[in-house]
Amino acid sequence: MAKEQLKIFTTKKELSNYLDFNRRNSKTVGFVPTMGALHDGHFSLIKLAAKKSDIIVCSIFVNPTQFNDPKDLEKYPRPIEEDIRKLKLSSCNVLFLPETAEMYSTEEKWHADLGEIENALEGQYRIGHYQGVTQIVKKLFDTVQADFAFFGQKDYQQFCVIQKMVRLFNIPIKLILCPTVREKTGLAMSSRNIYLSENQLKNALKLSEVLELTKRNFKLKSLEQLKTEAFSILTKDDDIKPDYFEICTMDDLKPATMKDKPLIALVAAYVGTTRLIDNIILN
């Protein structure tokens, strides 16, 4: 059976009308929010969405309120024609492709009480980032009104923050965390990987390597030893500048003190001028 043509909507009203019609016909909706520059990690989310939902919606919107650095926003990759071509070959049914003016009014204020998790890890280095993330995700959730939303484990803190936001506003949606998709080398797939030179791609492997090493040695060494060893490896190369390597409890991302809870190791580092993040579940 031939795949239905990908439907593209640029306004919230058009999208809502289409999805409302499908919901009235008892169709479930799965949602994959993205900022474009789509790679196999994104398409793994779409595949998982297709197993749980009748209609799969993917959004592409480079959200200005979550960027601390205007230059980072300006240079963020936007290969929209290529993204659309790939989506047409996937299980995705609907692409939501709004302009900034469609999502934001000129005098708009937002603050969600996200608690301590907002200022941990990524929050220390990207002040206000998660306010911007929750601001746009709340708008998208309100528009799509999906049954399920799918997120990659690579952005684990983002998943936790969105989970908090969903509870805060009592949004009736089920969030599904999906495994990180990696290159054959082990490098976590990211839209930012295109900025890496051939040599930097090799250096970037240190991030996944220290995570794997930490997992292998988890039962053999103390938490402090594991962190010290990871930092030592990451700082050996002049081209890598780590922001953090931390072992945290999975439920609230507080620094772990004991090994009796589910724990996750998270790392963020600059490789050259490109900032990458990754993580691994330890137990």
Is 247 within 8 Å of 223 (Cβ atoms)?
A: yes
Query: Which strand (E) or helix (H) includes residue 211?
Result: helix 198-216
Q: Active site residue: 39, 42, 111, 129, which one?
A: 42
Is 45 within 8 Å of 175 (Cβ atoms)?
A: no
DSSP character string of 69-101: -HHHHHHS---HHHHHHHHHTSS--EEE---HH
Q: What is d(CA 221, CA 223) in angstroms, rounded to the nearest whole number? A: 7
DSSP character string of 116-185: GGGGSTHHHHSTTHHHHHHHHHHHHHHHH--SEEEEEGGGHHHHHHHHHHHHHTT---EEEEEPPPB-TT
Q: What is d(CA 41, CA 36) in angstroms, rounded to the nearest whole number? A: 11
| Closest of 265, 267, 274, 257 to residue 235, by C-alpha | 267
Q: Is 111 a catalytic residue?
A: no
User: Which residue's entry shows tokens 């993040």?
Assistant: 277
Is 65 within 8 Å of 136 (Cβ atoms)?
A: yes
**154 to each of 56, 100, 105, 267, how far by Cα in Å?**
21, 26, 31, 10
Q: In the beta sheet, which residues pair with residue 34?
A: 60
Catalytic residue annotation: 42
